[in-house]
Amino acid sequence: MGDLLLVRHGETEWSVSGRHTSWTDLPLTSHGEEQAKSLVPLLSSRTWALVLTSPLERAVRTAELAGLGGAVAEPDLHEWDYGGYEGVTTVDIHRTRPDWDLWRDGVPPGPEGHPGESPATVGARADRVLARVDEALSGSTGDVVLVAHAHFLRVLTARRLGLPPAEGRLFQLATGTVSRLSTEHDRPVIAEWNVRA
């Protein structure tokens, strides 16, 4: 059975400033493009059973620049819907809600079509992606790669390891990195985390 590789998209203006970014479709910065290109040596020697990307530009562009041709957009790989906290930093939120924690409290509703998500809701999406990953891995000797967003991939990691969605809080994930989830004695494990070229 192959491995599951997680690629967090390269840097954007909002990832630098710490603004919560879900549906706002920002491009990569020039540094973010360089981060994505630098991933080629980490990914080029692998055989892919499946390459999935979030439909958002920052993830799609990262996949292209990292040499992941043939990527299929998967809507469930979309970042956590931050609802009313879209574009807002944690520092700003703490000015009015000093005890707020994304992993415990979720977010308030935002504009039409963006009700916000709880950890459980994001976890349900992650579980659907993992079912698709398992199907691809069971029928191939290749690996699967997902190109997506920090908070979503952190939740997905928690779910892969058998943890509740909110335990994604334990896995910090930097821009323009590759992480690898594998197995040991038939149990899921983190084999590598936040790897840069």
Mind telling me the catalytic residues?
A: 9, 79
* Beta-ladder partners of 182: 189
The separation between CA 40 and the C-alpha centre of its own chain, rounded to angstroms, equals 18
CA dihedral 44, 59, 122, 23 (to 10 degrees): 180
Neighbours of 1 (CB within 10 A): 13
Helices 119-138 and 150-160 cross at an angle (nearest 10°) of: 70
Scored b (16 or more CB within 10 A) or e, 61-88 reads bbbbbbebeebeebebbbbbbbbbbbee
What's the rounded Cα separation, in Å, for the pair 194 and 174?
Answer: 6
* Beta-ladder partners of 195: 178
